[in-house]
């Protein structure tokens, strides 16, 4: 058993007396994930996907752990504004900003000297930012979002996000940018969701894993070429391309191989939420989980817990349900899943579970756990060493 393996009694004993339900981050595992991810990133810097953390203290802890961690990728304009006001800087908003009042607030931070970078993929985005930046008397820094999906006959392998599909679209957008005096381009982001966010090592799904691996193999080559060509074309056209961002937790091994990429984005790997258990290229530790209380014993080997149904966003499916964690061997019931007010758990293992005991589950997506709890207990070395508010706990609810 390694120092990073955890069993049921470890958490049950240290949380004795703590009110249910509770969420926690095991700092020993979190810090080990921070170290492993830093190694995986090679010589690229790492921008933290704040949406996958949603807790200021843990963002700060990661940034302080190693200088390889530089800046945040924010998920809304107002989140970037809030984080800026809370002392963070170098904030790349990973998705388009539109609403006047929100962009105005971001421009007010820029006017104070803070770095907030907006994401664009349409001429309308550029013109909107130019208009508001002009009113605010600032020049807004922007980044082009390059579509990184791959199209195969009958299959769109990737997500629908950017309208910039390659270098010719990017050059057209650059023409618009050049004509807008209150925006300045400083780079490009391409998020290869089909590589970074799709597991290829699901237990019991050998055929599907093989297909995903095959598709990833051809997609990575194609998208690397697309990102490289687009960067080169924009540079040749006179664009300043300082920041070239790519990747996510699931794609580091491929993204870092592109010489033009200057930084990678990582978030989910820090908590290593459930969906990130199923990749062949890495294995991080489950540092975040939550405990629910056994309150009913409807029949032998069935333990019904109060609450627990924190399902994840995305295409609805079993993979979005919480992942049964501890004691080892617990299972959800297909018929009920994890519910609003109750979650029945099947268990036939050696632990003697009783009313009032905890069951530990993990969210399948990382940051969404923090929308369900106002605080995270912090655990280290067999003890609760503190508690820290989530974004929700600070009264913030961005998306
Ligand atoms: C633009 C962008 N970059 C990177 C990521 C990767 O984040 P994570 O490491 O949490 O998977 C995401 C996740 O959705 C994203 O939307």
Express each pLDDT in 53-112 by its tens digit. 999 999 999 999 999 999 999 999 999 999 999 999 999 999 999 999 999 999 999 999
> pLDDT grade, residue 339 (50/70/90)?
very high
Flag whether pLDDT at 28 surpasses 90.
yes
Q: Which is the closest atom of ligand 1 to the Cα of 247?
A: 4
- As to burial, measured by CB atoms within 10 angstroms (0-12 exposed, 13-18 middle, 19+ buried), residue 227 is buried
- Check: CB of residue 51 under 8 Å from CB of residue 299: no
In a domain, 195, yes or no: yes
Q: Tell me what pLDDT residue 205 has.
A: 95
173 vs 237: CA distance, rounded Å: 12
State in Å: Cα 347 to ligand 1 middle.
34
Whose Cα sits closest to atom 3 in ligand 1? 191
For the CA atoms of the chain, what is the radius of gyration? 22
Domain count along the chain = 1
Flag whether pLDDT at 346 surpasses 90.
yes
Mean of pLDDT values over 245-260: 98
State in Å: Cα 191 to ligand 1 middle.
7
The residue segments making up the domain with residue 140 are 27-272
**Beta-bridge mates of residue 49:** 73
> pLDDT grade, residue 50 (50/70/90)?
very high
**Residue 28 neighbours by CB distance under 10 Å:** 16
Largest Cα–Cα distance in the chain?
Answer: 71
Assess whether the C-beta atom of 248 lies below 6 angstroms from ligand 1. yes
Output the six-digit token pair for 198.
Answer: 């799709």
Whose Cα sits closest to atom 13 in ligand 1? 248
**Beta-bridge mates of residue 123:** none
Whose Cα sits closest to atom 4 in ligand 1? 248
Mean of pLDDT values over 159-163: 96
In a domain, 176, yes or no: yes
State in Å: Cα 48 to ligand 1 middle.
9
Nearest to 310 by CA among 290, 330, 327: 290
Assess whether the C-beta atom of 266 lies below 6 angstroms from ligand 1. yes
Give the end-to-end CA distance of the chain in Å, rounded to a whole number: 40
Residue carrying structure tokens 């280290």 = 380
Residue carrying structure tokens 């309150």 = 295
Flag whether pLDDT at 1 surpasses 90.
no
Domain holding 114: CATH number?
Answer: 3.20.20.10
- Check: CB of residue 325 under 8 Å from CB of residue 333: no
Flag whether pLDDT at 307 surpasses 90.
yes
Q: Which is the closest atom of ligand 1 to the Cα of 249?
A: 9
393 vs 146: CA distance, rounded Å: 34
Assess whether the C-beta atom of 195 lies below 6 angstroms from ligand 1. no
184 vs 329: CA distance, rounded Å: 54
In a domain, 322, yes or no: no
> pLDDT grade, residue 213 (50/70/90)?
very high
State in Å: Cα 182 to ligand 1 middle.
28
Q: Which is the closest atom of ligand 1 to the Cα of 269?
A: 9
Instruction: Provide CB contacts within 8 A for 12, sequence distance 6+.
Output: 357, 358
In a domain, 390, yes or no: no
In a domain, 357, yes or no: no
In a domain, 192, yes or no: yes
Nearest to 88 by CA among 45, 57, 66: 57
Flag whether pLDDT at 363 surpasses 80.
yes
In a domain, 369, yes or no: no
Assess whether the C-beta atom of 276 lies below 6 angstroms from ligand 1. no
Pocket test for ligand 1, best of 248, 364, 366 (most atoms within 8 A of CB): 248
Q: Tell me what pLDDT residue 2 has.
A: 87
In percent, the amount of the chain with pLDDT more than 90 equals: 99
Sign of dihedral through CA atoms 229, 231, 234, 237? negative
Flag whether pLDDT at 217 surpasses 80.
yes
In a domain, 300, yes or no: no
């Amino acid at each position: 058993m390694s120092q990073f393996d955890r069993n049921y009694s470890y958490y049950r004993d240290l949380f004795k007396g703590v009110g249910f339900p509770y969420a926690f981050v095991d700092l020993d595992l979190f810090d080990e994930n921070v170290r492993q991810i830093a190694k995986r990133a090679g010589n690229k810097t790492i921008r933290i996907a704040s949406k996958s953390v949603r807790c200021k203290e843990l963002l700060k802890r990661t940034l302080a752990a190693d200088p390889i961690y530089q800046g945040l990728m924010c998920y809304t304009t107002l989140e970037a504004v809030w984080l800026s006001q809370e002392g963070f800087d170098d904030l790349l908003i990973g998705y388009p900003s539109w609403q006047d009042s929100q962009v105005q607030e971001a421009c007010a931070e820029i006017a104070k000297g803070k770095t907030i970078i907006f994401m664009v993929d349409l001429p309308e985005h550029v013109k909107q930012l130019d208009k508001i930046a002009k009113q605010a008397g600032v020049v807004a820094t922007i980044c082009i979002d390059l579509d990184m999906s791959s199209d195969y006959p009958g299959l769109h392998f990737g997500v629908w996000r950017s309208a910039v599909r390659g270098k010719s679209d990017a050059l057209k957008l650059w023409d618009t940018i050049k004509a807008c005096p209150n925006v300045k381009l400083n780079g490009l982001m391409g998020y290869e969701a089909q590589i970074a966010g799709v597991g290829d090592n699901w237990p019991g799904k050998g055929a599907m894993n093989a297909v995903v691996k095959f598709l990833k193999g051809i997609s990575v080559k194609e998208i690397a070429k697309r990102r490289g060509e687009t960067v080169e074309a924009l540079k040749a056209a006179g664009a300043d391309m300082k920041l070239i961002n790519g990747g996510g937790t699931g794609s580091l091994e491929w993204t870092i191989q592109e010489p033009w990429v200057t930084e990678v984005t990582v978030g989910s790997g820090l908590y290593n939420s459930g969906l990130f258990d199923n990749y062949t290229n890495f294995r991080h530790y489950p540092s975040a989980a939550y405990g629910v209380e056994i309150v009913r014993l409807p029949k032998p080997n069935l333990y019904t817990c109060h609450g627990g149904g924190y399902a994840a966003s995305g295409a609805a499916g079993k993979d979005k349900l919480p992942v049964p964690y501890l004691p080892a061997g617990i299972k959800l019931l297909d018929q009920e899943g994890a519910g609003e007010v109750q979650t029945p758990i099947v268990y036939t293992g050696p632990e003697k579970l009783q009313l009032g005991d905890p069951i530990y589950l993990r969210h399948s997506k990382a940051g969404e756990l923090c929308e369900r709890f106002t605080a995270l207990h912090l655990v280290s070395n067999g003890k609760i060493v503190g508690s820290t508010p989530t974004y929700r706990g600070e009264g913030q609810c961005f998306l």
